[in-house]
Amino acid sequence: MALIWPTLVVIFIVYAFYELLNNIQNRKRHPRGPKGLPIIGHLHLLGKNPHHDFLKLAKTMVPLYTAEKFLKTYDHIFASRPHNEAAQYLAYGQKNLISGKYGPYWRNMRKLCTQHLLSNQKINSFQSMRRQQVELMIKSLKNEACDHRVVVDLSAKISSLSADLTCLMVFGKKYTDEDLDKRGFKAVVNDGLTRQLKDLSKVFDEFLEKIIDEHVQSRDQKQSKDFVDTMLDIMQSGEAEFQFDRRHIKAILFDMLIAAMGTSATPIEWILTELLRHPHVMKKLQKELEEVVGLERMVKQSDLEKLNYLDMVVKEGLRLHAVAPLVPHEAMEDCVANSFHIQKGSRILINFYAVQRDPDIWSEPEKFLPERFVGSSIDIRGRDFQLLPFGSGRRSCPGMQLGIIIVQLIVAQLVHCFDWELPKGMQPCELDVEENFGLATSRENPLVAIPTYRLNNA
């Protein structure tokens, strides 16, 4: 009897030691991060430009993953988006493409959009409209250039053109900022961070309902179809593999407004900024345009494929200035990546800003050097993971081809039709590149310059 208790104690110690060893062996290894503070966590590490802050943090940590790991190797696991409170209200329960959860609904919705709204045939059907609107902007700038050394707000001109192109393509007619709300489109979107989301969603919903009603009433009188007409056709045909109603139309329209206006105007603004900062690149691009197009006419869309240096300039602008630098993804199941366990529901942020300025990939990554693409096969369509302005994998931008055409056409036209000079004797190196982080990371300050018309068809 006296040996029972010592024996039990020994058995318990051996069992506890065995369990401890077993737990150590089976313990899952999780990625480590910087130490946080009580209550606020890591918020103190982030400033006004979080993509810069994440890059600084990455330099202090042991490298764990590349973008290719999540966008190719584990794309089937990380193709979803995390819960987004703003999209719940503004995109009708995350029924849009940008922030929608990955699954059968999202795949079917993307299929409908790529086949009916963003196909090459649909994009080409708006070619004459794009030409007319770009020519209107050039004419407006030309008239202003007649006044000796007038300073123009290029940011405003580009933003206005982008809005007009988007509205004509999506809605079939132009809308002013005030048609959405008296404060303007950008102000309404920016207020989403401070204003009640329910109130903001009501503003958008009333605007989009009005547009759909106008299209329903005028459908029989139209010869050409915009995006709203096309989606109404899908709704009536029953082609969708789910119950497609007005909510889905409005969710996609919301996507088009947010994506098209921001992600086409912003890269144009940045590319022109870099051209003004590097006059020798501007002159070299103008020389190519003179040789291919001539000084007797404007640039046509059919000219773009012949403009090799323009392609390099656009690639380098998109590399140096990531329009959407931080993109969230969510794990749909548990997985192990680089021996680290990542739980289902974990959120990751792909820092495209960091990828595209990685000194291990790019020589002199902070410099604007279009010539780095001479003889290079690096593409911007998501196959080369060192340059991903439109993302990659399942969540790559479905409007990629349209975006490339618009950016190239407007940059080419502005550079071909005008010589540009900075105001008040400002030197090229003095032009700021301060960023304003948001839905699209644009310039902090408007881009202003003095145009001089240079074509012979005055």
> Which residues line the annotated binding site?
397
Closest CA to 99 of 380, 395, 316, 451: 395
Strand order in the sheet with 152-153: 152-153, 448-453, 418-421
Answer for the pair 195, 189: CB distance below 8 angstroms, yes or no. no
Which residues does the annotation place in the binding site for heme?
397
Per the structure block, which two tokens stand in for 144? 């202003």
Q: In the chain, count H helices and then E strands.
A: 17, 9
d(CA 167, CA 214): 14
Question: Which H or E element spans position 312?
Answer: helix 308-320
Answer for the pair 433, 439: CB distance below 8 angstroms, yes or no. no
Closest CA to 102 of 117, 85, 118, 81: 81
CA angle, residues 439, 442, 446, in degrees to nearest 5: 135
* Residue 344, phi then psi, degrees to nearest 5: -55, 135
* Residue 277, phi then psi, degrees to nearest 5: -80, -15
Per the structure block, which two tokens stand in for 377? 């096969």
The DSSP line for 115-167 is IIISSHHHHHHTHHHHHHHHHHHHHHHHHHHTSTT--EEHHHHHHHHHHHHHH
Answer for the pair 55, 351: CB distance below 8 angstroms, yes or no. yes
* Residue 146, phi then psi, degrees to nearest 5: -65, -30
Question: Tokens 């080419």 label which residue?
Answer: 412
Distances from the Cα of 101 to the Cα of 235, 396, 444, angstroms: 21, 14, 32
d(CA 297, CA 267): 25
Question: Which H or E element spans position 418?
Answer: strand 418-421
Answer for the pair 406, 158: CB distance below 8 angstroms, yes or no. no
